[in-house]
Structures are given as structure tokens and as C-alpha cells.
Chain A
Amino acid sequence: MTTPCALIIEDDVALAEIFTLVLQEAGYDTETVYDGALAMERLLAVVPELVTLDLNLPHLSGRDILQNIRANERLAHTKVMLVTANAVIAETLREASDLVLVKPVSPAQLRDLAKRLRPDT
């Protein structure tokens, strides 16, 4: 079984680094996209098992990316973890996403959740 892949879509470089470390600990290969405009291209190239998606992104918002993912059959098996600072907005997108994490995200919590979402567990 190949190692599952996680795409981290996050414009905060430091946070992206934490996610990278945590998700690697959780057993994922990772790739990071810092710009909303590049997200779809990388998503379709990688077809990741897991996506951590920041809502507030340059050029294309996380909300739009989420819609694109849900509209694309090739990404039907991709789990989406929404990461946002705004709990109210998070509520409105709960149904479209697989998980909603409200910032600040605890690494331990993220690690557990990512492990649980791995297709091989």
C-alpha cells in the first residue's frame, strides 16, 4: 500500500510547516500550496487523500476551492479538513467538508484526526 498523500493549502508558512510535521507524523506524504489560485492545479495533479484547507487564501478563497473539490469527480475520495479562525463561518461549511478545525489548531488533535481519516485505517 502506498503512503497516502496530504495537500496542505495554507498561506501561513509557519502554520503550514507545523501541519507538514504533524501530518508526516500521522503517516502522510505532504505537499504545500500557499496560493489559492494554484490549489486546484495541484489538487488535480496530486489527487490527495487528505486536504487541509485554509479559508482565507490569496486569489481564490477556501470556500471556492471547497466547491470546486466537491464538484470534481476525480476528487470524490479526497477528505477535506477545513481550517479557519472563524467559528461562525466554519458552521456554515460543516456539511460540505469532512472536518472543521477552528484555529488555533492543536497539533495533537490534528495528528489524531489525520490518522483517523487515513484510508488504510
Chain B
Amino acid sequence: MTFSFTIYTTPMFLSAIVSGALMLWSLQRRTSPGAIWFALLMFSTFVWALGYFFELNSTSYVVAQFWSKVQYLTVPGAVIIWLILVLTYTGQEKHITPRNLAFLFFIPAATIVLAWTNEYHQWLWINPRLATDVPFNTVIFEHGWWYWVNTGYIYTVFVLSTIILIVSYSRSIVLYRRQIMVLLIFSGIVFLSNVIYVFGNITAGYNISPITFSVGGIVVAWGLFRYRIFNVMPIAADLVVDTISDAVIVVDAGNRILNLNPAAERFWGYKLADALGLHIEKLTGSWAKLAEFFQTDASVYGEVPLIVQQEPKTIELHITPIHGRDGWLNARLVVVRDVSVRKKAEQALVEARNQALDALRVRRQLLANVSHELRSPLGTILGFAELLEGGTFGEMSPKQRDVAGKIIDSANYLTALVDDLLYQAQIEAGVVAVKAEPFDVRTMIRRVEEKMSVLVEVKGLEFQVDIDDAVPQTLVGDTLRIQQILVNLINNAIKYTAEGTVALRVYCPDDRHWALAVRDTGLGIPAQAQNYIFDAFRQVDDDKRTNIHGVGLGLSIVKQLVMLMDGTIALNSVEGRGSTFTVTLPVLATKPVVTGETL
């Protein structure tokens, strides 16, 4: 047996287990910045504690010396790892370059080499031997000169790390101080234990450092878990605050400024140095509602108008109180966002909407007025012309009567045109609504037939009207509008048909639809024109149609009415042989409430 177990070694064994466990635990979280360095630190502690455990249990000097050297494989570098951890945590990773690392690890590496070659030079340990006056086996020695180089170096690096932590602590806002405190506690524990070991004789050569390292490791691990120090590093948070475009202000409980981020400096036109300690009202101006915001203990959110640097602005304020562990208010975090642009855009939108509504109102009024203003003189023209023709003002010569007739024809044509234009404008303005009322299909068709047959006969065409028996007697819809559709389609058919037939057929293509098909044997519509003839003011323009009048609204109105009725319109046309327009409308079962707007 080269070593025996003694009771004094138990804490060392436990330390090895604790630091080993912390290493593994930290490795699992290695995506968190700094976690990997913490794992290395715990690995170093693990090797140290385990090596020391075996050293303490050794029965011969050779074995004890071996385990003592094993500890020196990782221990000299531990402080450098600690420094890296601190640098990472305080956001100064930029210093961790390969060159700096090589420089920092130079002395620890030399120490490791010197430890393993100590018997040749005794620079590190002089006259190492097993202690005989203590109840455990440990290698004791006098300190060689390199021992002090190494110790001095370790202390220098350690003090440097601690200074970095303290500076960072004083610069951090309250929220993150506890996290830095966790690291400082670790430093303190390690420092104390080392001082005791190196300079004191309290432990009689028993080095408690591995124990304090693992205990400190638990503290840091607790920090990891409790404050997530490796997840949200304060410096990262600082970076966020510094680069965020929102102005961030921290005020103390008395609303005096503790911190401004660069955005806040720009927004308010104050340098942090000048603003420090000023009351928040210096920036915001003093007024009641804002004062209220800054008096409450709860989170506040509000949109307030403010004059900032002589400019009126709308700002969004988000005030978050920061409470200490004792529950008292420590500070307030004020996030200020300039929403003036958005606010202006919102106002512009509201104004634009009002203007559009006004325009619509004006348009509707205009339509009503124009309707009246155009029809009234037309009525007068028609009226007087008819009275003239009828002999009210005395007997007319045949020539005079002929002229009066032409006036009447033109006035009638103009009236129809005005009707179409007004109707088109009404549809465009969205003021045309279709009713859904029951009506007798056959009666409606008869009316249309009576109205149109005169025109068909005048042109010398044949007029066929056919209603399938399957079409229900009563349908639901807007009978006046449907008549208008039919009149427009039949008018169109008559207009473009020189000889032959105009036919109207009413049928049901399926259970849920009924259809009106108007067929003619006229000019037909060229294929390329079939795309646009339903557009307002578009007509087929060719030599065959030069003496046919119209502004191209009939089919446009038909199509829009059909769409208002949730129907479809189809065109089947062969140039020179004729066209068939088929309007398919849904069979409405119930009678919906009549909706509609009137001019």
C-alpha cells in the first residue's frame, strides 16, 4: 500500500467531487459566455483537490511528491483562468488575444516545468520531505526563489482581477451589482484562504485552498443560477443600453439623474457628466402628470407631449421602478422613445381619412345636385319641344314639326346619356345598393318585353322571349336593377344588329342559380375587344360601328350591377355572327333586410 486513508483527507475528497460536479454542470451551460472558463477553473480545482487528496494519503515521500507535482499541473494557471473569466464577464474580451494569453501563461508554464524538474535545481521547493509532526502526510519544504516569483505573480494577477471587478462594480447600475458581488465574494474567499496558507501557520501545513476554491465555486455557481450572471452579463446589458436607439435614463429614488445612455444624451442635448445629479425635471420640464409618473412605485407607461430642445415632440415614456431586496425603491429606469413621427403619421392618416370622407360626401352631394341641375333643363327642352310639336303654340308646318321631333329625339338621347353617366358615377361612389325583395319573374320579363319590343320592331328585327318552366314564379332580388340590366343588354343587342333576331332566354343552369341570356345576330365582338368592353367608356372602335352612338357605359353599368348582386356575366361572341351575354344570378332563398343608401 502506497497510501493510507486519513480523516483529514475527507474534505479534500468532497472538494474534488464538488469542483468536478461544478465543472460538468458548467460545461452543460457552455453556450453562456464565461461558462467555459468557469469550467476550466473548476477543472483546475478538481485536479488540485484530487492531487492533494492522494498526497495526504500517501505513505511514502516519492508518492506524495508525485501527487504534489500533479497538483502543479493545473494550479499555476488557475489564476490566469480567473482573470480571463473576470475580463469576459466585465466585457473586456478584447484583451484576450493569443499574444496576451501566451504572455500570461508564460510564468505558470515555467512553474509547471520547474515543479516536475525540481529535484535537479530546487528553485521551487528546497529540501521537500514528508511532514512528520502532523497527523497527515504532506510534503513540506522551504521556499525556493521561483516559489516567490510564482506566488508574487499569482497575487499580482489576482489583485488585478479584483481591481477590474471593483471598478466594474462601481460603474454598474444597481441591477447588476449583486452579480459582480458574487464574483468578488469568490475572490475574497480565495484570497483569505491563500493568505492563511502562505503566511499563517494556523493549518500546520494543511492547505485549505482547494476547499475554499470549491466553496467559492458553489457561490459562483449559485450566482450562475440565481442571477444568471453568465447569461446576462452586465457589460452586455451596458452595450445594449449604450447602442439602443431609445433614450434610457436612470434616476434615483429622488428622481435625480444617475445615468444617461448616448441616445438620451443626444435626445436631450445633455452630456452625462453635466446631467449627473440633476433632477429629472431639468430634462422633462415640470408638470403635474409627469410628476405623477415619477412618484408612483409601479411601472408606468404613457405617451406625453413634451418640448425637447425647443421642439414639440410626442414621447413614449416607460418608467420601471427598481426595488432593492428590502423592497425599497432604489432607482427608476426611464425609457424614452420619440414617437413624434409616428404620431404625425397617425394624425395625417386621420386627416386623410376625414378628407376622403368629406370628398365622398361632396361627391354624393354633387351627384344629387348635378342630377337635378341636368335633368331640369332637359325636362324644359323636352317639354317645350313636345308642346311645340303638339301645336300648343299654334299650328306647325311639316318642316317645323320635323325639327321639333329632332329636338325631342336629341333631348331623349341626352337624358339617357345623363342617366348613364350619373348612374356610373353613383356606382363608383359606392352609393348604389341593391335590394333583395321577392318579385314575379314573368311579370318583370313582360314589362321589359313591352318596353323593348317597340325599339326592336322599329329596327325590323325579330324579338324572341323564352322563359323556362323550371324558373320559379317568384325570385328574390332588385327587380328595378335587373330590368335595367336587361334593358341595357337588349338595347346593346338592338344597336349592333342590323338584321335577324334579338332573343331573351330565362333559365336555371342549376338549383342555386338563374340566368338571363340575351342573344343577337349582330356584328359580334372581336376577341381582343372582349377583354375591355365591360370597362367604363370603352367601345369597339371600327368602321362598322362609326354611326352607332354611345359613350360606352351600358355594359359597364351592367357588369357592376351584376357584381353588386353577387352574380356573373359571360360573353360568347363570334365576329360577324352575333353575341350572347349571359347574366347568372344566385337564387336568394330568404328575404334579407333591405339595406341601401339614397342620395
Contact = CB atoms under 8 A, between A and B. Distances in A.
B598 A85 contact: no
**Max chain A C-beta neighbours (<10 A), residue from B379, B392, B411:** B379
Interface string A89-121: 100100000000001111110000000000000
Interface stretch (A13-21, A27-35, A40-48, A74-82): A13-21
Given A18-B387, A21-B392, A104-B383, A88 B598 contact: yes
A104 B598 contact: no
B299 interface: no
**Max chain A C-beta neighbours (<10 A), residue from B372, B383, B386:** B383
Contacts of A86: 368, 371-372, 598-599
A64 to B, nearest CB: 17
A104 B392 contact: no
Interface string A49-92: 00000001000000000000000000000000000011011001
A89 B390 contact: no
Given A25-B392, A88-B599, A107 B386 contact: yes
Interface string B463-489: 000000000000000000000000000
Contact of A18 (B371, B375, B383, B598): B383
Interface residues of A, number: 19
A88 B384 CA distance: 26
B380 A12 contact: yes
Contacts of B384: 14, 18
Interface in A2-23: 12, 14-15, 18, 21-22
Given A22-B387, A107-B387, A12 B376 contact: yes
A104 B411 contact: yes
Contact of B383 (A15, A85, A88): A15
A108 B390 contact: yes
Interface string B292-319: 0000000000000000000000000000
A46 B457 CA distance: 48
Contacts of B386: 106-108
Interface in B377-401: 377-384, 386-387, 390, 392
B376 A103 contact: yes
A105 B368 CA distance: 18
A56 B374 CA distance: 13
Contacts of B411: 104
B599 A104 contact: no
A21 B382 CA distance: 14
A103 B422 CA distance: 14
B415 interface: yes
A89 B599 contact: yes
Contacts of B375: 85, 103-104
A85 B376 contact: yes
Contacts of B368: 86
Contacts of B371: 85-86
Nearest to A25: B392
Nearest to A89: B598
Given A21-B392, A104-B411, A108-B390, A85 B380 contact: no
A105 B415 CA distance: 11
Interface string B579-599: 000000000000000000011
Interface string B333-365: 000000000000000000000000000000000
Contacts of B598: 86, 88-89, 92
Interface in B479-524: none
Contacts of B381: 104
Contact of B372 (A18, A56, A88, A105): A56
Interface string B144-168: 0000000000000000000000000
A104 B372 contact: no
A17 to B, nearest CB: 8
A21 B387 contact: yes
A14 B380 contact: yes
Contacts of B415: 104
A107 B387 CA distance: 7
Nearest to A55: B372
A82 B371 CA distance: 16
A18 B411 CA distance: 16
A103 B411 CA distance: 12
A106 B387 CA distance: 9
A18 B379 CA distance: 9
A56 B382 CA distance: 20
A119 B313 CA distance: 76
B546 to A, nearest CB: 29
Nearest to B408: A106
Nearest to B411: A104
Nearest to B383: A18
Contacts of B599: 86, 88-89
A85 B598 CA distance: 13
A22 B387 CA distance: 8
Nearest to B385: A107
A25 B379 CA distance: 18
Contacts of B387: 18, 21-22, 107
Nearest to B370: A85
Nearest to B392: A21
B386 to A, nearest CB: 5
A103 B378 CA distance: 8
Contacts of A15: 376, 379-380, 383
Contacts of B380: 12, 14-15, 18
A42 to B, nearest CB: 22
A105 B383 contact: yes
10 contacts: A12-B380, A14-B383, A18-B387, A25-B392, A85-B372, A86-B372, A104-B382, A106-B382, A106-B386, A108-B390
Given A18-B379, A92-B598, 7 more contacts: A14-B380, A14-B384, A22-B387, A25-B392, A86-B372, A89-B598, A107-B386
Interface of A: 12, 14-15, 18, 21-22, 25, 56, 85-86, 88-89, 92, 103-108
